[in-house]
Structure 1
Amino acid sequence: MKQINALEKHLDVKLLERTPHGVRLTPAGEIIYKDAKFLFDYSRTSIQNARNAMDRYNHTFCVGTSLLNPAKPFMDLWYEASREFPDYRLHIVPFEDDHEGIVSEIAQLGTKFDFLIGVCDSRTWLDKCNMLQIGQFRKMCAVSRKHRLASKECLEISDLYGETLMMVAEGDSGVNDFIRNDLTRNHPQIRIEDTPHFYDISVFNRCAETQNVLLTLECWKDVHPGLVTIPVNWDYKIPCGLMYALDPPKDVIKFVETVDFLLPLS
């Protein structure tokens, strides 16, 4: 009753009628009671909605996508593995392939993204994430549509003699360093031009605007409409993998383990 008295004093409104037979709400008290009950019920619903939203957030995998690292291969894995995650949904997060900023994007695995799929044997990238290898892509060559090699269905290494081959600078990729060493020692007729360690669209633009040849991948054949991507008679391949944080949460670990189990069957 002391609380009611204090509330009446605070509101300057009489809420209860006190009689020898007890108390009852005044008309003003009826209104306050109904509105307070509505607010209580509404707040309870709001809290439940907030909890539901948090549950949905906690059951969402964020997957990065970009021009050179698209989410499509992840979707193929998801359709195989999603039966183990019936309450989960995906949120696709776009990012840029800018060679100056890509390392900071990789470092955000575990915060901005749960997963990225990409071609990777970069020492810099693998210092910042874990990777489950899910396949390989063949190394190919891209040329402008007006290049003398553009009409060929398959190249021999000797076709590249006298050409300038653009490829990533030495020191970050074991596969690319091996290719560079092989070509330098055994095919010195091919000039090599360094690109940044990580390709972005500017590298493809330079190839399209020059008569250079670009060392590229079969999965990037549609990246630039002005280029033709041609297979080469060699055995160079590079790993493709599912990248995730160095210290991943349990659900991410479970997904990786599920994919790893399914890979031999896919």
Structure 2
Amino acid sequence: MRGCKVFDGRLETFIKVAESGSFTKAADILYVTPTAVMKQINALEKELSVTLFERTNHGLRITRAGESFLQDARYILEYIERAAQKAMEIEEGEKHRSIRIGTSVMTPAKFILDVWSQIQSRMPTLKIELIPFDNNPVNSVEILKNLGQHIDVVGGLYDENFLKERRCLAAHMYDKKILLAVPVTHALSAEALITPEKLKNRKVLFIHRGWNVYIDKLRDTLENGGIRTEDFEMFNISAYNRAVSENTPIITVEGWEDVHPLLRLIPTSWDDSIPFGVFYSPTPTKLVKKFIDLLRSVAAQ
């Protein structure tokens, strides 16, 4: 056994066989042939001088020695992955660099908190720096067009045209339901559920047409049902102050419950939603690209 070298490729194959209980199933997972899987396991057992699986007419059964090796193999692969990650960061000169996340009242960095434990387990040396910015029409556009200069990533709502106009990319995280924020003094503020019928002949504030196709689609539906709408320029505190001042419901999304203390987010009967993602430059650094790839992996789980 001394000097034995076990490559991580065979370790991964062994783990897949142990978890699936079959050479064929493991081969499907690894996109190789069952014969290739059997050869790797046979070679591994020969090199270790240990029987990892008992072959029977009914299939495979992992041995006690195999169960012990399985626990250690999982740890070894995780350790190798973290060691490789650390080495790459050092080589790239980015070990002490941070991901700079833009944040504002309307674009909080909460999305990173939701997945931080998973990110840190895969990128243990990663540091996060929050960069606050004023969410005004000019500033928000310039930040997205110049991602990578002062801010690396920022979360937000989008559609494909939004990304094209601002010359940035987005890692989709999830969809947010489009809701209604109602001033606490409004007649509908006590409702448990808002339906189009309850809004008929009432006015609702909508972000201007062309900002997002998903919101425009909902606006068309409500207007066809006899609901009056008026534009606001962008999602910011000024728009929500206007809703309170005019005592008028305003379109919003889940997650913005605490934007204004005098507005109440109320569930709606419609199922319309809007994509939420993490924006980044089309030419990201290697560190940012790894971060984005990891976010995508976590979001897909």
TM-score clears 0.5? yes
* Paired AA for residue 77 in structure 1: V
Give, as a single letter, the amino acid of the residue that structure 2 aligns with 1:142.
Answer: A
Q: Which residue of 1 aligns with 2:69?
A: none
Report the Cα distance in structure 2 between the residues aligned to 1:118 and 1:141, rounded to whole angstroms.
18
Q: After the TM superposition, which of the residue ranges 118-127 and 131-140 deviates more from structure 2?
A: 118-127
Q: How does 1:229-244 map to 2 (within 5 A)?
A: 229-244=265-280
| Structure 1 partner of 2:101 | 63
Deviation at 1:118, TM superposition (A): 1.6
Q: Does residue 138 of structure 2 align to residue 105 of structure 1?
A: no
Residue 231 of structure 2 corresponds to 194
Q: Report Cα offsets for 1:55-83 as digits up to 9, x if no partner.
A: 57852111111101101112323321122
With normalisation by structure 1, the TM-score equals 0.74
Separation in structure 1 between the aligned mates of residue 164 and residue 116 of structure 2, nearest angstrom: 23
Instruction: Supply the distance in 2 between the matched residues of 1:190 and 1:97 (Cα, whole angstroms).
Output: 29
Separation in 2 of the partners of 1:122 and 1:226?
33
Structure 1: unaligned runs, 5 residues or longer: 1-51
- Deviations along 1:155-174, whole A, 9 cap, x unmatched? 11111012111101112311
Alpha-carbon distance in structure 2 between the residues aligned to 1:166 and 1:254: 39
Counterpart pick for 2:161 among 123, 134, 147: 123
Matched, 1:253 2:253: no
Check conservation: 2:100, 2:130, Cα contact below 8 A.
Answer: yes
Change (3 A) 1:66 1:246: same
- Greater C-alpha radius of gyration: 1
2:107 is the alignment partner of 1:72:
no
Q: Deviations over 1:194-214 (max 9, x none)?
A: 111x21111000001112110
1:264 Cα deviation (Å)? 3.1
How large is the RMSD of aligned CA atoms in angstroms? 2.0
> Post-superposition shift, 1:102?
1.3
Q: How many pairs align?
A: 210
Greater shift, 176-185 or 151-160, is seen at 176-185
Name 1:135's counterpart in structure 2. 174
SS in 2 for 1:139: strand
Q: Distance in 2 between matches of 1:58 and 1:246?
A: 23
Aligned-pair CA distance for 1:221: 1.4
Distance in 2 (CA, whole Å) between partners of 1:91 and 1:214 is: 32
Q: What's the CA shift for 1:129? A: 1.1
Deviations 1:221-250 (A, max 9, x none): 110001111111001111111111111111
Shift of 1:110: 0.9
Distance 1:97 1:192 in 2: 23
| Aligned partner (choices 149, 160, 163) of residue 202 of structure 2 | 163
Fraction of identical pairs, as percent: 27
Unaligned 5+ runs, structure 2:
1-89
Contact 1:103 1:125 (8 Å CA) reproduced: no
**1:183, distance to aligned residue in structure 2 (A):** 2.0
Partner of 1:45: none
| Secondary structure at 2:137 match in 1 | coil
Q: Alignment partner for residue 223 of structure 2, among 166, 184, 187?
A: 184
Structure 2 distance, partners of 1:100, 1:199, is 13
2-structure distance, mates of 1:249, 1:129: 14
Q: Is the 8 A contact 2:163 2:170 kept in 1?
A: no
| C-alpha displacement of 1:93 | 0.4
Q: In structure 2, what is the equivalent of residue 28 of structure 1?
A: none
Superposed displacement of residue 251, structure 1: 1.5
Q: Residue 154 of structure 1 aligns with which residue?
A: 193
> Given the alignment, which residue of 152, 161, 164 partners 1:114?
152
State the AA in 1 paired with 2:126.
Y
> Aligned partners of 2:262 and 2:164: how far apart in 1?
32
Counterpart amino acid of 1:263? A
TM-score, normalised to structure 2, is 0.65
Q: Which residue of 239, 247, 263 corresponds with 1:211?
A: 247
